[in-house]
Structure 1
Amino acid sequence: MENHKKVEQLPDWSNMSTEILEQFCKRLTIPNQVRFSSVCKSWLSANTSKKAYHWIPDAPWLVSKDYTNAQFQVISNTDKQAYKIFKPFKPLPDTLIVGSFKGWLILNSKFKLFILNLFSKLHLDLPYHSTVGINDIHSPCAFSLSMCPNMNPTAAAMVTYGGCLGWCKVGDTAWKYHYTTGEFYANVTFNNDKLYVVDRDGKKVKMFKYDEGVLIQVGSVESPRPSGNLLQSATIDMRIYLVVCGGKVLVVGRIDDYTKALKPNVKFVISMVEESSSMLVKVQSLDDHVLFVSNSNIECLDAKYCSGFRRNCVYFTCYFKHYITSEVKEFSVANGVVLRSILSMGHHMYSPIWVLPRFPFDCDCEKCTSAQWITPEKMEEKLVLELKQRRIVYL
């Protein structure tokens, strides 16, 4: 009698229930989602389904603005790794990242202005900034996007280097603009269907609503403190940001003081827009939130989503010559001082910018037009990370 060896049947993981696979996807960070999608077609399909799409809580990544390379150089603050992401467009010398907002990069070239989701390669053209329509230095210096509930862009606003405010809806062919003689804006953000703009001194914020393409001012707030002569010094540089933090709009001023050292002494001054009193009120605490600040953008997150980052702190990139940086430092809002360096990169990055690691996905809400530009074929272009090890030292 022959002895028949029992052959053990290995499970066919490709035939797992789609519902179970979608639950797995919802708990994976971006790099692990990419690895998950590369296992087989059924896993890829599960990861690109509408049910699986939502933001995985993750600290912002750093993306280099280097325009000479065919790839984006990125650093994940969660898994402490560096990656390369191939650019879905020809790397022209004049194509630069000029902003980032809620997972979307804003890129500017000689003839084109567009927004790009770094992790899916989906991109949307915006009107070219020369269509702002006034005699101005049109190149954008600050951006914000209005988002649907599922974080897809529905409208854009920008401030030009000449201090003009421009805005448009996704799909428009020209920017609409607002300019008042003698007033120069520094930054802009959306919140609760209103547009907020702050002046270059960080002392005045205006609120607008737009109806049928026309901006209507609905309020303004000012700082009770005099501006002083802080910006008159040649050794002091100040940048002004607007950010929504816990439902409130904050004015964040970054002050780089070069008076006593080659490397600047950095501090942050934060005020809250209090519309009921029409005043800017100094903020003593961010509570459970964290701010991430670069030269070109600012992001705010709940500290529970940012492993390794402390609540009530500002994390900012430090610049040396020609906007080259290799450090991220921590500023304590409670103490008003820089506490430590939390990231030292093994290689320098050119003017890195913070970007939230998230995918766009199809949405059927009233505000969103994503159905016009997200297709199943584009959703499956998610395998965009080339995993490369780089020397990164976390302190």
Structure 2
Amino acid sequence: MPVAALIVAAGRGLRAGGDGPKQYRLIGGRPVLDHALAPFLAQPAISLIAVVIGAGDETRYDGAVGHIADARLSSPTPGGETRQDSVRLGLEALAEAGFDGSVLVHDAARPFVSAALIGAAIEAIGANGIAAIPALPVTDTIKRIDVAGQIAETPPRDRLVSVQTPQAFRFEALLAAHRAAFSAGLDGFTDDAALMEWAGHPVATFPGEPANLKLTHPEDFIRAGAPAAGNLVVRVGTGYDVHAFTDGDHVWLGGVRIAHDRGVLAHSDGDVALHALTDALLGALAEGDIGTHFPPSDPQWKGAASHRFLSFAAQRVRQRGGRIDFLDLTIVCEAPKVGPHREAIRQAIAVAAGIRVDQVAIKATTSEKMGFTGRREGLAALATATIRLPEQE
């Protein structure tokens, strides 16, 4: 089933401060909207990407994402007075383009959405039918107050969740719900899931990600962006991984599926390149290793795509106010040949880590037919990550 992404970037973002809409402010030298679009553009399952922008923001939009040369990114659609209006107008534009399938609705104010979460949204709507949204358990105690400001209720938090985007829907059902709400004069829905609930549709949930932050207040930008250079210290981490060959017809290297006469023996997809890079970042953070966060004893990681691990480690850097400067990777094997896939691997790593391609280096070598790699018993990867973190007093 075709999948479209609708990125909502029409808000003014007044609570965030600054001189203009928050989706055009810079984080790490790139506009927030550019960050938000990148992982959707990297998802091959998405056939169409539409952005809803504010009235008069055409020049800002072109300056932010005009460099993107991807035929799936359509011309922007002007939004409305509210988020609900903007989503409806974006859906109508997709309908006029003849789209029918599933749609992911995402707020541009969440620029750290990961490729893994987008993949989970696509998988969830495929499995659950009408609507599925990412949700996180609530850790704070929640109170409901009355009109006088007094506590009226303390609901049990084990049944409460906070929700994020991207939210996934069957396109026809979401468009019909928006049209019905518009005809009824209802415009107070804060997200599309609430509108679908009003329309009588069941809404499923799937795990969200703590790193998928929404930029709302000025301090959110301080946490998301890099501090002044003088307050950052350089850290370097290294990573190493190895996997033995077994029966199969492909291997995963750096997020790229490469045809081969063998597979690898692993709990996840066995991507030695991404495993080594993940350990290098976690090492620079002094936050354990890949097995600490994704233990092979946990069945949820069986067959998991390893770009999820690298995205997690990269987000940990950003959560601590840091930045990734460079990722350097060496792959050791007699076969398959890495050279023909080098640029695709660099691109996949850059997307998963949320950095530029020129911040990723790939080298490949053999072990001159010595050792286990020389005997074609497996393959290995060594990685170095250079990051900067705020200096601790």
TM over 0.5, yes or no? no
Classify the TM-score, shorter chain: under 0.3
TM-score (norm 2): 0.26
Say which structure is richer in helix.
2
TM-score (norm 1): 0.26
